[in-house]
A and B are shown apart, each in its own frame.
Chain A
Amino acid sequence: MKTLLSILGGVANVVIVLLLAPFFQGVLRKITALIQSRQGPPLLQPYFDLLKLLGKEDIESGESPLMQRFAVYLSLASVLTVACLVPMGFAAPMNAAGDVILLIYLLTLCGICTLLAGLAAGSTYSLLGISREMMTMIALEPLFAVAIVVGAVHTQSFRLDTVLNGSVYASTAFPWSGVIMCGVMLLSFQAFVQRVPFDISEAETEIMEGPLMEYSGPKLALFKYAQMAKLVIYSALFVTLFVPWGTGLMFPLGWLVFWAKVSGLVLLVTLVAATHARYRIDQAIRYFAALLAVALVALVLASYGY
């Protein structure tokens, strides 16, 4: 029974992410257009884009096409696997298969696929992009790890259902560490979902989509799909970690509240993205380093019970 439920839950999460991700992207594009006084594409445009790309010619320009294919399929696959680890209105489906450390490393795996794809394509622009992407990952992974570890220190557990349930506030005293980490994650959230002002590794206007530059057709579709899904998954993670309130309500209500919160976060991402200019990579690294210093302070506070 338990196994069946978690299989059903996993399928549900994957399907919801696949169905909703392009919609959120559509919302994002529409609102960006409105802010910039444009008409903007229809809300369903991302679905059409994906469908169109799936039928376009697939040009492989790298030294090892096998690696290109592998990286592309794995990129969507790893994102969808993460979707099974995140509670989305229900308990995390793969609760019995891994803990939050696995979650941290699986999120890294999503990044690795983009890196491998860029390397396999081999264009200088791609390599430039993946060098930037990797530097961003070095700075971001520990930020997310600190948020998780703060929760784990408070609850003395690594289980997904325990930690991804507002655990950062679960201290006995006033949860200073949780509040600080919430701020830190908000300030770096654009980078996690690879949006302006931290979309440095793609930077369409300077290095022409970086790692994705050489990709076309179905491969590009899968990459774009994975990127849209990442927005949903990271938003869900943020909500479960930092905005847990109301999710515990009765079935349709709690579920609706959860997705309302996720939508709110996507809206916030959109507003920031539409009103900011891209940072240079050195500026971004300095910014993340400052945030990391603050996060380590929060971690020390957490281990002292705050």
Chain B
Amino acid sequence: MMSPEQAVVASILLCLAGAVLTLLVSRNKTAAGWLAFAVTAATAVLILSAVAKVLAAGPSAHPAAFWAMPKFGFALRIHVDGLTAMFLMLTALIAVPAAFYSIAYMRHYEDYGVARYYPNFLLFLAAMYGLVSTTDMMWFFFIFWQMMTLPGYALIRFENKKPENIRAANKYLIMMQIACVATMIGAELLAVTGAKVTGAASLKYDFDTVCANLPVMLVAKPGVTALAFALFLVGFGIKMGMWPFGQVWLPDAHPAAPSPVSAMLSGVMIKTGVYGLMRYFLWLVPPSAQADYPLAKWGLVVAVLGTITLFTGTMQALKQEQSKRLLAFHSIGQIGYILFGTGACMALLPVKDPNVAVLAAIAFFGALFHVLNHGLFKGLLFLNAGSMLHATGTQDLNKMGGLMRFMPLTAITAIIASFSISGVPLFNGFVSKWSIYVAAVQGSGSAKYLAVCAVIAILTSALTLASFIKFFGVSFLSRTSLLVKVQAAKRRGLEVGWMMQLPQVLLAALCVLLGVAPVIAFNLMQAAMNASQHSYGIALAKAAPIMGGSLSGLQQINSAALFAPVVLAAVLGIVFLAALAISKLGSASRRAATPWLCGYMGETEQNRYVAHNFYGEIKRYFRWLGGMPASHKPSRIQVVPQTNLQ
């Protein structure tokens, strides 16, 4: 039986071998696709069994060293603890549907081969497995970071005949290099000054060494240590799309990539930044030094940055009229929630009160659960957007309408994803937001700003809903647009094939499952905390903030907050049937008709109410916030042949 660490290394090697093989067979798109999927699935099996082992039986006592060159302080040491396990699980969960979706999706690119796609996809995946499990803050961090950045760059500029994609990829590359440098300077500061202070030399960039040095560092060199942590925040902030860095690269990069890669970028890649933030801020400082570590101040910074990020990202998303660009801005917004939850946890952890420790743990669980949820629903949304792109050939929401009639299954998965991200109860997004609000509002006794931040987060949740009502409504509902009519007539049906439907259905099912039975996720997270008991992990594991069962749902340990989704679903179901029965009372007859247009015979394309028309007043009031789509000057007012005027 392989140890979890061996499984991670085996997965990475498997991906590398797969990259070479897919390059060799890349002339046959389908074969390369199936091969890449097989490799991804095999790594997922390895990774998930490793995760299961860690969560069930605890982590290995020590990191496993695979390759060491002590002269340079250079060693490939891998450790899979609970926190790593959660991120590994997320990576595997999103990578498999994305790889499967790619097989059919990549066939529609007529001008581009897959030689630059599948090999890079697998390298990208390998890097993410490595980045969340290495304990080396310098060399292997650098290697995995570049292994993630460079294939990512190639994937973003996949459609390299469009100049805007090349620009987007260049921006991505530059921002990622800045982030890499910032993080490495931070690590160097901790390692070098640490080595000077304590004299410990071998493997000076390893987590264990840094951990051991930090107590002395925090006392002797508080300024340098704070600078190092600030650099970590900047570096990982750039990666995860935190305000103000996220707006620079993220909204351009995500729409440029092919849709399954957008799903990976948004669902998984930006989460490595979250992983870095959690790992460096919460799992480095040993308990003995926690009195000298200003975690509450960092919590303030992170929570406030998170609040700004979630509001600006979502408000800018509200203005978008391109499907994938809209989703990309929402990635910034949702990362804001994760940051806010993490920040609330950091602000509350240092308070010496068991009740507050419970709240800190709830905030952390909320953030971690939102990482998982965002991966699921945003991955799904990008696949939906990919299917829409596949069907209509455009990302422009203004040109879409009435797709639900032509692609019902995609529509149903899209509405599940939209409900999840907007936090509708019984879908997974609600539960993670619930946890964050519960912690922040009750925690406002200890950190006053948290209540105001929580209300801004609730307001932003309504903005998210507004944006997705627009996204779903104008593309799938509304009235059939000219473009959709033309495409449907040309292609005889628009619904994507089963190979693109299956991954969407799988992700939608997971969203619903975690929404109705969130206790599964909370048990996993509790196991993860129990399996990462060092530094602040000890306090988080001890708090055990949620008790729950499949029927009784979730309950804060002192019963101050509770949510029983199964009961809610039952009640909602019963009254739904009651409403149905009431509507049948009069046994009214039913008839289909066209909408009433105040006497006009038909509706022209120009008179449709499109994405651009939504929320004019709010968009006007928040014009100063930026993010206005450049193309919103109406090219739509061209005269289209008025086919449906009689």
Cα(A66)–Cα(B190), bound, Å: 60
Which residues of A sit under 8 angstroms from B469, Cβ to Cβ?
112, 115-116, 119, 130, 134
- The smallest C-beta distance from A157 to any residue of chain B, in angstroms, reads 4
- The smallest C-beta distance from A239 to any residue of chain B, in angstroms, reads 23
- Which of B563, B580, B607 interacts with A73 by CB under 8 Å? B580
Which residues of A sit under 8 angstroms from B594, Cβ to Cβ?
61
> Does chain A have a CB within 8 A of B511?
no
Cα(A284)–Cα(B207), bound, Å: 55
Interface residue tally of chain A, by bracket? 35 or more
Which residues of B sit under 8 angstroms from A65, Cβ to Cβ?
592
- The smallest C-beta distance from A22 to any residue of chain B, in angstroms, reads 13
Cα(A285)–Cα(B622), bound, Å: 12
> Does chain A have a CB within 8 A of B67?
no
> Does chain B have a CB within 8 A of A26?
no
Assess the B609–A299 pair: CB atoms within 8 A. no
> Does chain B have a CB within 8 A of A74?
yes
> Does chain A have a CB within 8 A of B492?
no
- Which of B583, B591, B617 interacts with A54 by CB under 8 Å? B583
Which residues of B sit under 8 angstroms from A53, Cβ to Cβ?
586
Which residues of A sit under 8 angstroms from B592, Cβ to Cβ?
59-61, 65
What residue in chain A is nearest B618 (Cβ atoms)? Answer: A135
Known: A55-B586, A61-B596, A77-B576. A157 touches B434 (CB 8 A): no
Cα(A225)–Cα(B473), bound, Å: 24
> Does chain A have a CB within 8 A of B579?
yes
Which residues of A sit under 8 angstroms from B437, Cβ to Cβ?
101
Assess the A303–B560 pair: CB atoms within 8 A. no
Which residues of B sit under 8 angstroms from A134, Cβ to Cβ?
465-466, 469, 614-615
B-binding segment of A33-41, A102-110, A190-198, A254-262: A102-110
Which residues of B sit under 8 angstroms from A214, Cβ to Cβ?
595-596
- Which of B451, B587, B593 interacts with A60 by CB under 8 Å? B593
Contact with A along B613-630 (1 / 0, CB 8 A): 111111001000000000
Known: A98-B568, A105-B430. A54 touches B585 (CB 8 A): yes
> Does chain B have a CB within 8 A of A131?
yes
Within 8 A of A (CB), among B523-563: 552-553, 559-563
- The smallest C-beta distance from B284 to any residue of chain A, in angstroms, reads 31
Cα(A299)–Cα(B449), bound, Å: 10
B-binding segment of A141-149, A230-238, A267-275: A141-149
> Does chain B have a CB within 8 A of A221?
yes
Assess the A63–B404 pair: CB atoms within 8 A. yes
Within 8 A of A (CB), among B405-426: 405, 408, 411, 422-425
Cα(A44)–Cα(B120), bound, Å: 70
A-binding segment of B18-26, B340-348, B453-461: B453-461
Which residues of A sit under 8 angstroms from B588, Cβ to Cβ?
54-58, 217-218
Cα(A161)–Cα(B423), bound, Å: 23
Which residues of B sit under 8 angstroms from A303, Cβ to Cβ?
444-445, 448, 451-452
What residue in chain A is nearest B456 (Cβ atoms)? Answer: A142
Assess the A158–B579 pair: CB atoms within 8 A. no
> Does chain B have a CB within 8 A of A282?
yes
Which residues of A sit under 8 angstroms from B559, Cβ to Cβ?
159
- Which of A72, A77, A157 interacts with B572 by CB under 8 Å? A77
A-B contact pairs, 23 of them (CB 8 A): A56-B588, A63-B402, A63-B478, A64-B405, A67-B477, A72-B583, A73-B579, A74-B579, A77-B572, A104-B458, A122-B401, A124-B597, A124-B607, A137-B465, A138-B463, A153-B441, A158-B441, A285-B617, A289-B621, A296-B455, A300-B448, A300-B451, A303-B451
- Give the top 6 A-B pairs by smallest Cβ distance, nearest first: A54-B586, A55-B586, A119-B473, A127-B609, A97-B567, A158-B561
With A55-B586, A128-B609 known, 10 other A-B pairs at CB within 8 A are A57-B589, A58-B590, A63-B477, A80-B575, A94-B568, A98-B562, A98-B567, A105-B430, A127-B478, A131-B616
